[in-house]
């Protein structure tokens, strides 16, 4: 036997529902005094190495309506392309960079992460993948969390070699994963995520 | 387990999981992608994930009866202990992982600004909690049994009593959100959200069982809800062909 045969079935997913904020971002939902801070609200600290960026965008449904009740989580490497591990929140345990963030969409379906630009991570063949952020989206009406990635428009050469992007034959669909850069005090990368329709974002089974 | 965080995950059985588009649950109509998902082999980006084992929790984080009480009071409702084990598909415990849960109060009312149901809020009930699984993958919390509530889907749809769960595992691709239901509730089988799960055996996996052995006499009933996350194929080593 090369691999163990799975003996149990994965627990079926269910929608996070419209009140997901009660459990995942309670302070944002005005439930005060249970948790000191909402998990994943802060990814960087004053001594986090790397290039500060803002990652933002909107989540839009198939009718063109903003998904104002979504919660977005991201997971990314640090500036050197390494995945940190602990997200401990005590001062001693807190790493310089958590790699994990969680933000609710606002009334306009807009999400916003203050983070750093990730370094390249090795792909399955050992060659580097283009810098990217893994994204997971839940909301009312989404039965199982949607998985996608955000890439960066100013990494053109690396994007052209990226094995994930190269699995998407249609260049128009490939473009749904690439955030455009807007200059500012802190560079901002923006990408709208379309759940359905002509501009539908590429979602993964991974 | 941290020691075997290298292997790829078993492919997710999408015929067991709810499809994106389930029109009986109307909100899925414009929120379900219409293109096929793009299949990818797992990379470090999916096979690693945040870990929470060292995160200090408040002693009341897993006590919804008291973690929001404003004046030393306690939440009103049928007192429960909910507990269970987080396992992977290989039946191995998943220790040190964060489990989050949220729910309505005993009357079916959520503490949320967008919720307009006329059942009253309970001033001593917030509705959120969290726990980190122990070395054997077990979690537990105290709460009150949530009430059923109506929702705008069909003209007279009611959600069965349920508790929402969010579980991390050790890989970002294991991330899971689900809902726990209560054994014997007749409304489970009438609910379009429950019915998004295609297989009756899958629905049965979402129903917590009354556990008389773990009740607290003269205090709280107990329900057991085990959770299964995707399992890893062990990395194949040439000198260990049987796997590990």
Identify whether B162 is a catalytic site residue: yes
Band of residue B87 on the pLDDT scale cut at 50, 70, 90: very high
Q: Give the least confident one: A105-109, B52-56, B160-164, B221-225.
A: B52-56
DSSP B147: P
**pLDDT in the model for residue A3:** 65
What are the pLDDT digits (tens) for B26-56? 999 999 999 999 999 889 999 999 988 778 8
The low-confidence residues of chain A, meaning pLDDT below 70, are: 1-4, 85-95
For B124, the token pair is 């001593």
Task: With a cut of 80, say whether residue B1 has pLDDT above it.
Answer: no
For B136-241, list the strands marked E by DSSP.
138-144, 149-151, 157-159, 162-167, 176-182, 207-210, 221-224, 227-229
In the numeric block, the tokens 């049987």 are attached to B242
For A139, the token pair is 């909301």
At B2, is the secondary structure helix, strand, or coil?
A: helix
For B105, the token pair is 């109060």
Identify whether B149 is a catalytic site residue: yes
What is the full DSSP assignment across chain A? --SPPP-SPPPPP----TTTHHHHSTTTTT--SSSSS-TTS--B-TT--S-EEEEEEEEE-TTS-B-TT-EEEEE---TTS----B---STTT--SB--EEEEE--TTSEEEEEEEPPPP-B-TTSSBPPSEEEEEEE-TT-SS-EEEEEEETT-HHHHHH-TTGGG---HHHHGGGEEEEE-SSS-EEE--EESSSTTPPP-EE-
Band of residue B136 on the pLDDT scale cut at 50, 70, 90: very high
A167·B203 Cβ contact <8 A? no
What are the pLDDT digits (tens) for A31-61? 999 999 999 999 999 989 999 999 999 999 9
Give chain A positions within 8 Å (CB) of B11: 205
For B87, the token pair is 């396992």
Q: Does B239 touch chain A (CB under 8 A)?
A: no
Q: Are B43 and A123 in contact (CB under 8 A)?
A: yes
A35·B25 Cβ contact <8 A? no
CA–CA separation, A116 vs A121, rounded Å? Answer: 15
For B239, the token pair is 């000198």
CA–CA separation, B8 vs A191, rounded Å? Answer: 29
CA–CA separation, B114 vs B133, rounded Å? Answer: 32
**pLDDT in the model for residue B123:** 97
For B52, the token pair is 């929470």
Give chain B positions within 8 Å (CB) of A15: 25, 27, 177, 179, 193, 196
Write down the mean pLDDT value for chain B: 93
Identify whether B110 is a catalytic site residue: yes
B211-to-A92, B81, B124, B141, B165 alpha-carbon distances in Å: 40, 10, 26, 14, 19
B25, B68, B83, B149: which is the annotated catalytic residue?
B149
**pLDDT in the model for residue B244:** 38
A143·B114 Cβ contact <8 A? no
Identify whether B181 is a catalytic site residue: no
Which B-chain residues 138-177 have CB contacts (< 8 A) with chain A? 164, 166, 172-173, 175-177
- 0.90 surpassed by pTM: yes
B51·A85 Cβ contact <8 A? yes
**pLDDT in the model for residue A96:** 82
Identify whether B112 is a catalytic site residue: no
B162, B170, B230, B232: which is the annotated catalytic residue?
B162
Give chain A positions within 8 Å (CB) of B109: none
DSSP B200: H
What are the pLDDT digits (tens) for B167-202? 999 999 999 999 999 999 999 999 999 999 999 999
CB pairs under 8 A between A and B: 290
Q: Write down the ipTM of this complex.
A: 0.94
**pLDDT in the model for residue A1:** 52
């Amino acid at each position: 036997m090369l691999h163990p045969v799975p003996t149990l079935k994965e627990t079926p997913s269910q929608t996070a529902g419209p009140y997901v904020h009660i459990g995942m971002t309670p302070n944002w939902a005005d439930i005060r005094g249970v948790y000191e801070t909402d998990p994943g609200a802060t990814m960087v600290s004053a001594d986090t190495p790397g290039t500060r960026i803002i990652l933002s965008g909107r989540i839009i449904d198939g009718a063109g309506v903003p998904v104002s009740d979504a919660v977005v989580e991201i997971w990314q490497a640090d500036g050197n392309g390494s995945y940190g591990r602990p997200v401990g929140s005590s001062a001693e345990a807190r790493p310089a960079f958590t790699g994990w963030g969680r933000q609710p969409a606002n009334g306009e379906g807009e999400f916003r992460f203050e983070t750093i630009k990730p370094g390249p991570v090795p792909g399955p063949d050992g060659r580097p993948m283009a810098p990217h952020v893994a994204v997971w989206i839940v909301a009312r009406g989404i039965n199982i969390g949607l998985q996608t990635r955000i890439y960066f428009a100013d990494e053109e050469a690396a994007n052209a070699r990226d094995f994930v992007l190269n699995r998407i034959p249609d260049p128009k669909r490939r473009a749904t994963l690439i955030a455009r850069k807007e200059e500012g005090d802190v560079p901002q990368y923006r990408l709208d995520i379309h759940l359905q329709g002509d501009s539908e974002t590429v979602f993964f089974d991974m | 387990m941290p020691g075997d965080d290298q292997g790829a995950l078993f492919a997710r059985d999408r015929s067991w999981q709810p499809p994106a588009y389930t029109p009986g649950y109307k909100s899925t109509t414009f929120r379900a992608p219409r293109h096929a998902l793009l299949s990818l082999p797992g990379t470090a980006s999916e096979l690693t994930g945040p870990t929470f084992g060292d995160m200090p929790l408040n002693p009341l984080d897993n006590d919804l009866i008291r973690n929001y009480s404003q004046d030393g009071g306690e939440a009103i409702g049928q007192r429960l202990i909910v507990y269970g084990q987080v396992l992977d598909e290989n039946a191995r415990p998943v220790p040190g992982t964060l489990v989050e849960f949220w729910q309505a109060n005993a009357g079916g009312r959520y503490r949320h600004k967008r919720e307009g149901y006329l059942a009253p809020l309970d001033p001593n009930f917030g509705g959120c909690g969290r726990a980190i699984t122990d070395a054997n993958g077990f979690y537990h919390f105290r709460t009150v049994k949530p009430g059923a509530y109506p929702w705008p889907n069909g003209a007279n749809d009611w959600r069965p009593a349920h508790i929402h769960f969010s579980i991390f595992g050790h890989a970002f691709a294991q991330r899971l959100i689900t809902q726990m239901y209560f054994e014997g509730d007749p409304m489970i089988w009438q609910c379009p959200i429950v019915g998004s799960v295609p297989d009756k055996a899958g629905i049965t996996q979402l129903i917590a069982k009354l556990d008389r052995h773990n009740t607290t006499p003269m205090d709280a009933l107990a329900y057991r809800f085990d959770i299964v996350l995707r399992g890893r194929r062990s990395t194949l080593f040439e000198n260990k062909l049987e796997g590990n």
